[in-house]
């Protein structure tokens, strides 16, 4: 449904995490994956992460969702933002899939927004990579250079910065794309009522990695080895350089041990910041029912937002999804589950000969991670 017109090797070499880039007509004949009223409906749900940003002059304030009262807003100077729309709308998931030239583990979510004329969230800096796709309407985007940017006073949770000198200043039309790496200030201004889509990619922080490692060690009862030394320093109040180095080495050995590192990374990187929307069958399926459905032409579809990851060097059938580790007998089924969001009966039939793998796939379906369509 969506085809991204982008020289990806050139982009990865010259722009990814280096320089912002504007691409005119990146999506030819772009069709919005949802309409403004559908987005408003999602924003009204308790389980969906949304917010409203209202602008008054050069001041912006944010209101957390759910958002239900739009009549009070008028026809200008506000923007509605809804996170993880790719979890909820199949067409949005297809749009996000246009960026699978980047690793799945980095992908965060697709945020959709509707902005009235004049609406925006103010000048700000993100700590992640973002691709902004213009849908219906028109918006002006300005991007500044990296550097020291003074925080804007009284901006609260929005964490805005002062105005900046733009190095990119463009008016975006439907299908246009703007890529912004971390650390570059940017600001959007709505020229006509607009839908836009932000596809975000982020890596975990050191804090997130260490917290995940600590949780894993505690749950598994690992990491019990203690520091030992051949000599002790004087005076007693001194922590010697040798002891500091030895304690650091104790942590380094733990973090570089594949048996510790891989489960930690697989668990952390397969999780989502935003809640998934599983679609389990009304009654649990058995293998006979699954085979019958596939024989009748139904396909197996992965729910939006689910990450299915494999770590290089791990067992071939090892999968991490939604923070859980699963082990299939072979890579024959694991590989298509990782790579293809939709699988038909012709692909699956020969792979289900292994009873254990077939039962694992059935468990995925009954948990709502894949569904028949």
Residue 65 counted as domain residue: yes
What is the arithmetic mean of pLDDT over 218-224?
87
- Indicate whether 176 and 322 sit together in one domain: no
**More confident: 102 or 155:** 102
Rounded to whole angstroms, how far apart are CA atoms 357 and 353? Answer: 8
HSE, side-chain direction, 13 A CA sphere, residue 43: 26
User: What's the Cα-to-Cα distance from 291 to each of 328, 330, 367, rounded to whole Å?
Assistant: 19, 20, 18
Cβ atoms 90, 192 nearer than 8 A: no
Mean pLDDT of the chain: 95
User: What's the Cα-to-Cα distance from 252 to each of 127, 224, 245, 246, rounded to whole Å?
Assistant: 26, 14, 10, 10
Pairing of strands 50-56, 59-64: antiparallel
Residue 345 counted as domain residue: yes
- Indicate whether 51 and 167 sit together in one domain: yes
Cβ atoms 90, 304 nearer than 8 A: yes
pLDDT at 157 over 80: no
- Indicate whether 305 and 254 sit together in one domain: no
pLDDT at 220: 83
Prediction pTM value: 0.93
- Indicate whether 17 and 54 sit together in one domain: yes
Q: pLDDT above 70 covers what percent of the chain?
A: 100
pLDDT at 77: 96
- Indicate whether 219 and 328 sit together in one domain: no
pLDDT at 154: 74
Is the omega angle on the peptide bond into residue 235 within 30 degrees of 0, that is, cis? yes
HSE, side-chain direction, 13 A CA sphere, residue 361: 31
pLDDT at 166: 97
- Indicate whether 46 and 174 sit together in one domain: yes
Domain that holds residue 216: 206-226+243-266
- Indicate whether 78 and 194 sit together in one domain: yes
Residue 272 counted as domain residue: no
pLDDT at 237: 87
- Indicate whether 212 and 103 sit together in one domain: no
pLDDT at 222 over 90: no
Give, as one character, the DSSP assignment of residue 71.
Answer: G
Residue 281 counted as domain residue: no
**CATH number reported for the structural domain that contains residue 293 in this entry:** 3.40.366.30
- Indicate whether 125 and 218 sit together in one domain: no
- Indicate whether 292 and 197 sit together in one domain: no
Question: Comparing C-alpha atoms, which of 237, 368, 371, 225 is closest to residue 294?
Answer: 371
Q: Which residue shows structure tokens 């703007």?
A: 178
- Indicate whether 117 and 180 sit together in one domain: yes
In total, how many domains does the chain have? 3
Residue 13 counted as domain residue: yes
Q: What is the pLDDT of residues 241-271, one digit of tens each?
A: 999 999 999 999 988 999 899 999 999 999 9
What is the arithmetic mean of pLDDT over 232-249?
90
pLDDT at 192 over 90: yes
pLDDT at 158: 82
**More confident: 155 or 70:** 70
- Indicate whether 214 and 339 sit together in one domain: no
């Amino acid at each position: 449904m969506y085809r991204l017109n982008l020289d990806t090797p050139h982009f990865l070499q010259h722009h990814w995490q280096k320089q912002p880039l504007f691409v005119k007509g990146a999506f030819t004949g772009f069709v919005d994956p949802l309409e403004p009223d559908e987005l408003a409906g999602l924003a009204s749900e308790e389980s969906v992460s949304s917010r409203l940003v209202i602008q008054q002059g050069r001041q912006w304030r944010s209101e957390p969702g759910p958002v239900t009262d739009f009549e009070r807003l008028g026809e200008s100077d506000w923007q509605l933002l809804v996170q993880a729309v790719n979890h909820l709308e199949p067409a949005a998931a297809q749009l996000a899939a246009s960026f699978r030239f980047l690793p799945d583990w980095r992908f965060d979510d697709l945020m959709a927004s509707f902005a009235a004329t004049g609406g925006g969230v103010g000048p700000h800096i993100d700590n992640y990579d973002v691709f902004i796709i213009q849908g219906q309407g028109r918006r002006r985007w300005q991007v500044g250079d990296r550097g020291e940017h003074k925080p804007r006073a009284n901006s609260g949770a929005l964490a805005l910065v002062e105005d900046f000198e733009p190095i990119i200043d463009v008016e975006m039309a439907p299908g246009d794309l703007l890529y912004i790496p971390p650390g570059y200030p940017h600001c959007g201004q709505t020229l006509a009522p607009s839908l836009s889509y932000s596809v975000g990619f982020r890596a975990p922080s050191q804090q997130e990695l260490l917290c995940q490692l600590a949780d894993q060690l505690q749950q598994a009862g690992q990491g019990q080895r203690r520091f030992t030394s051949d000599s002790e320093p004087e005076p007693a109040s001194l922590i010697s350089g040798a002891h500091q180095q030895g304690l650091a080495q104790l942590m380094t050995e733990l973090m570089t041990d594949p048996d510790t590192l891989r489960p930690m990374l697989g668990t952390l990187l397969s999780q989502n910041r935003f809640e998934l929307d599983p679609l389990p069958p009304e009654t649990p399926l058995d293998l006979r029912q699954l085979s019958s459905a596939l024989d009748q032409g139904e396909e197996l579809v992965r729910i939006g937002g689910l990450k299915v990851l494999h770590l290089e060097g791990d067992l071939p059938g090892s999968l991490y999804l939604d923070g859980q580790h699963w082990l299939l007998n072979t890579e024959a089924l694991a590989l298509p589950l990782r790579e293809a969001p939709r699988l038909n009966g012709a692909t699956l039939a020969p792979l289900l000969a292994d009873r254990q793998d077939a039962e694992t796939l059935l468990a995925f379906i009954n948990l709502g991670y894949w569904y028949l369509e």
